[in-house]
Amino acid sequence: MLRYVIKRLISMVPLLIGITIVCFSVMHLAPGSPTDMETQMNPRASADYRERLNAMYDLDKPLYQQYLLWVGRIAVLDLGRSFSPDRRPVARKIIERLPITILINVLSMVLIFVIAIPIGVLSAVYKDSLFDKITGVFVFIGFAMPTFWLALLLMILFGIDLGWLPISGIRSLNYDYLPPGMVYLDVVKHLILPVALSAFGGLAGLSRYMRSNMLEVIRQDYIMTARAKGLSERTVIYKHALRNALLPVITILGLSVPGLIGGSVIFESIFAIPGMGQLFYMSVMARDYPVVMGILLIGAVLTLLGNLIADVSYAMADPRIRVS
Amino acid sequence: MGTDFWKRFSKNKIALAGSCVVILLFIVSVFAPMIAPYDPHEINLKLVLAPPSGSHLCGTDQLGRDVFSRMVWGSRISLKVGFVATGIAIVIGAILGAVAGYYGRWTDAVIMRFVDIMLCFPTFFLILAVIALLEPSIWNIMIIIGVTGWMGITRLVRADFTSLKERDFVLAARAIGASDFRIIFVHILPNAMASVLVAATLGVAGAILTESALSFLGIGVQPPTPSWGNILTAGKDNIDIAWWLSLYPGLAILITVLGYNLLGEGIRDSLDPRLK
């Protein structure tokens, strides 16, 4: 097992290098240099000042040296300073906003699994039944649904017409004056819509995947064996078949990380949630390159970690993987 | 793809439903000037945020423009973005996949590693980052969606190539002295087009969804050019007073994407009924 983990860790290295190269190239797509923001806006900036600034950002060095210096800095989590007036370190800005984004993503992931797995299993076991057909239609609609639109509709319904749920932020204005128990309830109420919506995006895919897995497993010889030796249908399906059909789902966990993280931009900006997605959106709008690049990099590294965790837990669950 | 395909395709309800939607969309966007009852840019400040009525089927927006007319013209944007972006993705994906699958060895290793790297980036993040650096215009959007969406097609084409290159017709082509270029693009690639076609149809749907999300966030198609996404932005700004601005454009996106997805699914089933 340890050997497998080490092997996977080593195979991550070229990917990590590749990620930094892609980030660095994207950064250099920008027309002009990153110092333009300071020099062009400032009529007092002399040519000398400009050169000193370029030297400070290493822009006077050849590209490969710039890349190496940049990698050296990000290796110690120095992502530079934000261009925004507060000039704060990018790493700190991002770290502040990570917890809420991760919380929402983890909650919606749990929700996706809790709902999609039973749906997938049942529609496979009762293939071609009414339930299977209805979920089939639901899956098609789910794939085609622009989730930001669904967000708007639910905001109108639950937020405005019914007035049940708040539609913006993660806490009410009177949050500080609420009694202790109500504080949690307040946050929960603010999180219901964002979590439900970001889960919705993944539901269709996972339930369809679970269904085809289950159909595949039911066809196997060992299921026939289980039936032949007289086990009840219940034991056959929920013990023998389900366990095997659930295995590959672990990899989906890793594969869905980039989608969830990417989706957080849309949900956090719609619901005004102060997470990493909203920071990313605002930085894109303000052309705050250091923050944009920092988040792009962190998003990719989180994805890589998600894949690693998925692979390792898959190997723990299924010994066959470790050998091949 | 012969007569068998068309026979199955014409009997497949999913495929037919998808085709109907897609054909209808083509008609709407080609004849947009004739179908739209008003000029999509005509501002009427006396009729701001009017609810749907007989004269304005889907109501008017915050500048009194007819929402239905804007949606009709917006279908042109979706169509353009969907096809150009997918076209770019197919060209990149097919070439890289073909080269990787045909040459194998280190060429394959390098290209597929690059695919892995690109797949690590949350696509939406990559698109936003590039847009932050360039100007958000319809052409940039198409290019960026295409350039960030070729990885799946590369994997498909590579898989087809690794099996197809061992076949006798490739050996025959090589025996009569055909160049690698000719073997890849004239002999093998047409045989790999079936799976690409399915991926492309689903890709158009994905590109339309991405464009609408970008325009909704204000970093896609810029107003006053009407797109379904940027009408929804107005819907969000007026969410408490004008539900029609939120409802109709989203419905248009949903139906369009559904149409392409159904068509793609239908083509897949008709190409190989065993896959079902």
pLDDT of residue B259: 93
- For residue B82, the model assigns a pLDDT of 92
Q: How far apart are CA B211 and CA B225, in angstroms?
A: 13
On chain A, the residues whose CB falls within 8 A of the CB of B131 are 284
Cβ contacts of A157 within 8 Å, gap of 6 or more:
none
Q: How many CB atoms lie within 10 A of CB B170?
A: 19
**pLDDT at residue A82 is higher than 80:** no
CB contact under 8 A, B239 and A156: yes
Q: How far is CA A163 from CA A159, A182, A185, A200, in A?
A: 5, 18, 16, 22
* Residue B276: C-alpha distances to residues A79, A127, A207 (Å): 49, 13, 16
Q: Which of A15, A266, A292 sits opposite B129 (nearest CB)?
A: A292
Average pLDDT over residues A188-206: 86
Distance CA B121, CA B118 (A): 6
Contact yes or no for B262/B14 (Cβ under 8 A): yes
Residue of B nearest to A19 (CA): B117
Chain A contact for B114 (CB, 8 A cutoff): yes
The owner of tokens 């009407």 is B226
- Phi, psi values for residue B66, rounded to 5°: -75, 120
Q: Report helix, strand or coil for A323.
A: helix
Note whether B125 contacts A299, CB cutoff 8 Å. yes
User: Which has the higher per-residue pLDDT, A304 or A33?
Assistant: A304
pLDDT digits 0-9 by tens, A89-141: 888 888 888 888 888 888 988 899 899 888 988 888 888 888 888 888 888 89
Residues A248 and A265: their CA atoms lie apart, in Å, by 28
- The rounded distance, in Å, linking the Cα atoms of B102 and B100 is 6
pLDDT < 50 positions in chain B: 276
SS3 B51: coil
Q: Could you give the ipTM of this predicted complex?
A: 0.84
User: Residue A87 corresponds to which tokens in the numbers above?
Assistant: 């000039």
The answer to whether the CB atoms of B217 and A266 lie below 8 A apart is yes
Residue of B nearest to A12 (CA): B117
Backbone angles phi, psi at A81, to 5 degrees: -110, 150
Q: Which residue of A has its CA nearest to B220?
A: A285
SS3 A32: coil
Q: Closest approach of chain A CAs to the CA of B126, in angstroms?
A: 7
Paired tokens of B12: 């497949």
The two tokens of residue B67 are 């929402």
Closest residue on chain A to B129 (Cα): A292
pLDDT digit string, tens, across residues A146-171: 988 998 888 888 888 887 777 777 77
Answer whether B153's CB lies under 8 Å from B97's CB.
yes
- Select from A22, A150, A299 the Cβ nearest to the Cβ of B122: A299
Number of other residues whose CB lies within 10 A of the CB of residue B189: 20
Would you state the pLDDT for residue B95?
Answer: 92
Q: Please give the Cα distance from B66 to A53 (Å, whole number).
A: 51
Taking CB atoms within 8 Å and a gap of at least 24, the contacts of A99-105 are: A100/A170, A100/A273, A100/A274, A100/A275, A101/A261, A101/A264, A101/A268, A101/A275, A101/A276, A101/A277, A103/A191, A104/A191, A104/A194, A104/A195, A104/A198, A104/A264, A104/A267, A104/A273, A104/A275, A105/A198, A105/A260, A105/A261, A105/A264
Contacting residues of A for B114, CB less than 8 Å apart: 18
CA angle A207, A209, A213 (to 5 degrees): 115
Residue A42 pLDDT level (bands cut at 50, 70, 90): low
Chain A contact probe: residue of B14, B81, B125, B141 with most A CBs at under 10 A = B125
pTM of the model: 0.85
- pLDDT above 90: percentage of residues in chain A: 1
Of A149, A225, A308, A94, which Cα lies nearest the Cα of B245? A149
Return the percentage of chain A with pLDDT > 70, whole number. 89
pLDDT tens track for B12-59: 888 888 899 999 999 999 998 888 788 888 887 887 777 888 787 788
| Residue, of A75 and B27, whose pLDDT is higher | B27
pLDDT in tens, A235-265: 888 888 888 888 878 777 777 777 777 778 8
pLDDT at B274: 57
**DSSP 3-state of B177:** coil
Q: What is the pLDDT of residue B93?
A: 92
Helix axes B228-237, B189-216, angle to 10 degrees: 20
pLDDT at A237: 82
| Contact (CB<8Å) B217/A269 | yes
- What per-residue confidence (pLDDT) applies to A324? 54
Q: What is the pLDDT of residue A323?
A: 62
